[in-house]
Structure 1
């Protein structure tokens, strides 16, 4: 065997190790979904309705903020037991006028608007949340992004789950793609969201009682925010960052798939690329910040997640890159590998497992199990997953350059569409 064979073998082992792990998570997640559907049908009674503060950070969200606020006002939860706080953070569009009109229309409801400028705000999502938290009165804090339209029962579901389990520091619902038919890209994102975010979350919760907070549609105890001193304003992936801090407080984060919100996803490649670059840079920041915890006894609870995310962003990324390059160079006759036959068989099997696993995942959602989606999943492997590799490498390079240049990472707000 040559050095190229050794490199190829290591890459294949890394890819298949993580692939098999994800298959285990998918199977476990699938059973959790089945169990959750049965549990969702059981009537849930409330001994009390605790006060809840629903916070929405918004920067130049005039296109979507009206629909979002109206959906929040329509929650199936006593109207006098929750308040809505919209942090209109240094916006230059017509958001302030839209929000003022909504306050007039829904006079008598607890709809509060905080308007900040470049001096009092403009520090990204974490800064906006910290501003909103200063006036929040709720025993629990719920966060929604400005493009979300949650289903009426979402809030009640989140509250019920956390109220009935003292071991929980937070409960997350799931988000669905409301503009999935807008473009080929949004169809890919819809499949990605169902499989690589929500089914993996369900599997991790079912097997390990681990979950990671998404940026939206979650509830957290006020006592948690008080204890950690608010959101880390240096973290552009504030959701992942706060998840680790909750686990370090010996609290759990549960996944409740019945709590659903619908959100708008990027419809064009440049918008998607900027959004995902922010995600990559933000998650790498959190990994680097928390990586020393691997050797601390009190961090046993989050070791799996640290290794899981680290392996995804480093080992899997570079293993896929090496594997694809070796395959292409081998097909072109540039290099000759003694493992070429085995490598090609494993490569084909990996594609098959990707397609089957992804299709099983989307079968949990009504209307998604169809032949068109099988074709989309196959196409997704050869296009969208390769784009993910590009954005992950680019995000990693930008993170390293920011660290070397001592640059403050700026929060990029995803562009909205009509």
Structure 2
């Protein structure tokens, strides 16, 4: 008997009497897909939290997809999978892309609902049950969950506090940007069958492109504020800016691969907007702005400016990469 036996026994006892809004119903089959690349600690934390889910054991599986890791990540995945039958380890090492890894998971998934979780997220015990209840109650086909950033106990650096305040406003993404990030996304299998899987060519922005395909198919994008999952904060400015640069590369790739949707009159690499200082009122929209010290306000503004510059540099970098490649 392992350390999770008590939780498993409790779930098994509860499977016979689950109710949805007072009505006894069967839980739908769910496949939780976790892509990972060189993150053994994050993967272990995520799998530990998924093992603890109260969702019926026989109604869900966890598919870990290693994207060609070069460290001990594959060993961690196999170690946990050896102890838990519902965890399966897959490999996608032909294409270096988290979206290719997710597609590999989709190919092997047996669930009618696909839940995508990144390999550094921490899920509450009731997360999957809460998410599926919301999914079924709203008759959703595409739904983002609530994401809360986890700060350090001491409050962390200025960069970490900035990341906590600006991290993942999922409701804003869904309502105003037309997609939910893949760190917290539930999709019905029928959606994949209709609009297709993720674009594995993309380094970044694949969640945006996929969400827009779903939206353009006439489906409603849903948000479940009651289903919460936790994301670790980026604790350094370097980590925040590296992500912005990667996002910038993805912006250019979206234009290249999907010009019908993302093309513009101004070439992406020459667009001056990312290099311009952000409007002060935009930065002041950060939650709790009035409580910040003057030093924090200046630091937050400079980080916002630096993020825009790195986004622009990412676009330029991808432009150069593709032109050099085309000239060979």
- TM-score after normalising by structure 2: 0.78
| Residue 397 of structure 1: aligned partner | 313
> CA offsets per residue over residues 371-392 of structure 1, 9 Å max, x none?
xx8125x544422232232232
For the structure 1 residues 137 and 146, does the alpha-carbon distance in structure 2 shift closer, same or farther, using more than 3 Å as the test?
Answer: same
- 1:2-401 correspondence to structure 2 within 5 Å: 47-106=25-84, 109-116=85-92, 120-166=93-139, 168-180=140-152, 181-193=155-167, 197-198=169-170, 200-201=172-173, 204=175, 211-235=178-202, 236-283=204-251, 285-286=253-254, 292-293=260-261, 317=274, 320=277, 350=281, 354=284, 358-359=287-288, 374-375=291-292, 379-401=295-317
Displaced runs of 4+ in structure 1, greater than 6 A? none
> CA offsets per residue over residues 28-71 of structure 1, 9 Å max, x none?
xxxxxxxxxxxxxx967562211110000011111221121111
User: Distance in 1 between the 2:165 and 2:64 partners?
Assistant: 30
User: Distance in 1 between the 2:242 and 2:22 partners?
Assistant: 42
For the structure 1 residues 61 and 255, does the alpha-carbon distance in structure 2 shift closer, same or farther, using more than 3 Å as the test?
Answer: same
The Cα of 1:93 is off from its aligned counterpart by 1.4
> CA offsets per residue over residues 165-214 of structure 1, 9 Å max, x none?
44x331101222223433221111111136xx246347x37xxxx74211
User: Distance in 2 between the 1:250 and 1:379 partners?
Assistant: 46
Q: Which runs of 5+ in 1 are unaligned?
A: 1-41, 296-305, 307-313, 324-346, 361-372, 410-418
- Of the two structures, which has the highest relative contact order with CA contacts closer than 8 Å and spacing of 6 or more? 1
Q: Which runs of 5+ in 2 are unaligned?
A: 1-19, 265-270
What number of residue pairs does the alignment pair up? 299
For the structure 1 residues 315 and 234, does the alpha-carbon distance in structure 2 shift closer, same or farther, using more than 3 Å as the test?
Answer: same
User: Distance in 2 between the 1:400 and 1:165 partners?
Assistant: 42
- TM-score after normalising by structure 1: 0.63
User: Distance in 2 between the 1:67 and 1:44 partners?
Assistant: 34
User: Distance in 2 between the 1:101 and 1:401 partners?
Assistant: 39
For the structure 1 residues 100 and 408, does the alpha-carbon distance in structure 2 shift closer, same or farther, using more than 3 Å as the test?
Answer: farther
> CA offsets per residue over residues 317-345 of structure 1, 9 Å max, x none?
56646x7xxxxxxxxxxxxxxxxxxxxxx
SS at match of 1:277: helix
| More strand per residue | 2
| More helix per residue | 1
The Cα of 1:397 is off from its aligned counterpart by 3.4
